[in-house]
Amino acid sequence: MSATLIDGKAIAADLRAKVAAAASRLARDHGLVPGLAVVLVGEDPASAVYVRNKGKATVEAGLASFEHKLAATTSQAELLALVSRLNADPAVHGILVQLPLPPQIDAQAVIEAIDPAKDVDGFHPVNAGRLSAGLPALVPCTPVGCVILAKTVRPQLAGCEAVVVGRSNIVGKPVAQLLLAENCTVTIAHSKTRDLPGVCWRADILVAAVGRPEMIRGDWIKPGAIVIDVGINRVEAGEGKTKLVGDVAFAEAAAVAGAITPVPGGVGPMTIACLLANTLKAASMQAGLPAPA
Ligand code: NDP
């Protein structure tokens, strides 16, 4: 391996510590404790783990955590009623409804019911629009984490060729917007892209957000590129065991890239850290205070 390993765990711990320090200043100077409400509908085990980890990290950073666990049979009207109560609750500055939701609930309707000022996931169309217009916004956590990780290796991204593979509203599109805001020349690739290896090869910064295990091979990567692997894929590891791999064939890519994120331990830990940072930002903005840097 010749690439520098980008240690998402350590970088996320650093960001969480910064959020904790800023939260304690907010409490001391303004008597304000940012509050994050997380809503889980149903018993999906992966979602339950995420929600537990989010709650733990929230409390550790000195923020208030409000968990709402609802039955899998919850109706859309019941969930919308809870969102409306949380929108009106002054102790709640951020609202996150864990996705996916059960089939009887229209996720988009729920996302659009959240007050954009409390939309710490950054999925509300108002925040997506503000991001794309270059206005202050609550920006989705995983994409922000990707850019923070890339900038630890190359603080000035201006002029870089960036290729984002994946165009979802939660990862691909916002990460592309953020890289554009950093003055990169951005290409967004997707399932209909012709010659994906050739497109990837152009990248100084390659962000993989596809959801296909190890799809991006080492010979698709320009020597020295920064590779940010968002993918989280569980695959068979033999003897009835499973393991997590990214969207990038790690060993091959690490032999040519300049820097690369591992899976696990790369982008994943940044998501929760950026969620805490968004909650702090939302609370500050709701109180009319400047958003912490
Ligand atoms: P989606 O399924 O919503 O989007 C996947 C994207 O990849 C689509 O735009 C799709 O293209 C594109 N794609 C699929 N197949 C190909 C292909 N063969 N060639 C090129 N592009 C392709 O996924 P998400 O954006 O939600 O998530 C992507 C990955 O990131 C997943 O592994 C997910 O688990 C992970 N993830 C990790 C997070 C973290 O905290 N680390 C947070 C969120 C997601 P098209 O639009 O044409 O269909």
Averaged confidence pLDDT in the chain: 97
Binding residues for NADP(+): 166-168, 232
141-268 — its CATH code? 3.40.50.720
Span 217-239, pLDDT tens digits: 999 999 999 999 999 999 999 99
Does residue 108 sit in helix, strand or coil?
A: helix
Q: What angle do CA 19, 166, 279 make, to 5 degrees?
A: 20
Nearest CA to ligand 1 atom 42: 142
The pairing of strands 241-245 and 233-238 is antiparallel
Residue 153: pLDDT above 90? yes
DSSP letter (8 states) at residue 89: -
User: pLDDT-based confidence at 251, cuts 50/70/90?
Assistant: very high
Q: Residue 291's pLDDT is what?
A: 86
Judge whether 98 counts as a catalytic residue: yes
**CA distance linking residue 15 with residue 9, whole number of Å:** 10
Residue listed under structure tokens 């990567």:
221
Is 121 assigned a catalytic role? yes
pLDDT, tens digit, 9 for 90 and up, residues 122-139? 999 999 999 999 999 999
The pLDDT tens digits for 180-194 are 999 999 999 999 999
Number of other CB atoms surrounding residue 1 within 10 Å:
12
Say what the pLDDT of residue 280 is.
98
Tell which one of 99, 191, 276 to mutate to probe ligand 1, the residue whose CB is within 8 A of the most ligand atoms: 191
| Residue with token string 């950073």 | 61
Residue 187 CA: distances (Å) to CA of 163, 192, 212, 223, 248: 5, 13, 19, 18, 18
- Residues 52-65 pLDDT 10s: 999 999 999 999 99
Q: What is residue 164's predicted lDDT score, i.e. its pLDDT?
A: 99
> What pLDDT was estimated at residue 214?
98
3-state DSSP percent of the chain in helix, strand and coil, to 5: 45, 20, 40
Catalytic pick among 54, 118, 173, 281: 54
So what's the pLDDT on residue 150?
98
| Nearest 10 degrees: Cα torsion 78, 170, 189, 148 | -170
Q: Contact, 272 vs 51, CB < 8 A?
A: no
The answer on pLDDT for 39 being more than 90 is yes
Question: Residue 246 and residue 213: Cα distance in Å, rounded?
Answer: 6
What's the maximum distance between 2 C-alpha atoms anywhere in the chain?
56
Cβ of 165 closer than 6 Å to ligand 1, yes or no, is yes
pLDDT tier at 293, thresholds 50, 70, 90: confident
Q: Is the CB of 167 under 6 A from ligand 1?
A: yes
Quote the pLDDT of residue 248: 98
Q: Is 196 in the pocket of ligand 1 (CB under 6 A)?
A: yes
- What per-residue confidence (pLDDT) applies to 1? 74
d(CA 101, CA 198): 37
Residue 121 has pLDDT above 90, yes or no: yes
Catalytic annotation, pick one of 14, 89, 119, 121: 121
Strand pairing of 94-97 and 64-70?
Answer: unpaired
pTM reported for the whole predicted model: 0.97
The partner residues of 97 in beta bridges, in order of sequence, read 39
Q: Which residue has the tokens 């091959």?
A: 252
Confidence band of 292 (pLDDT split at 50, 70, 90): confident
The average pLDDT across 255-262 equals 98
Cα–Cα distance, 198 to 220 (Å, whole number):
7
The token duo for 262 is 């591992």
For the domain covering 30-116, report its CATH number.
Answer: 3.40.50.10860
Greater model confidence, 79 or 292: 79
Do the domains spanning 30-116 and 141-268 agree at the CATH topology level?
A: yes
Domain residue ranges of the chain, discontinuous segments joined by +: 30-116, 141-268
Query: Is 26:64 a contact under the CB 8 Å cutoff?
Result: no
The answer to whether 114 and 88 are in contact (CB under 8 A) is no
Rounded Cα–Cα distance for residues 101 and 29 (Å): 39
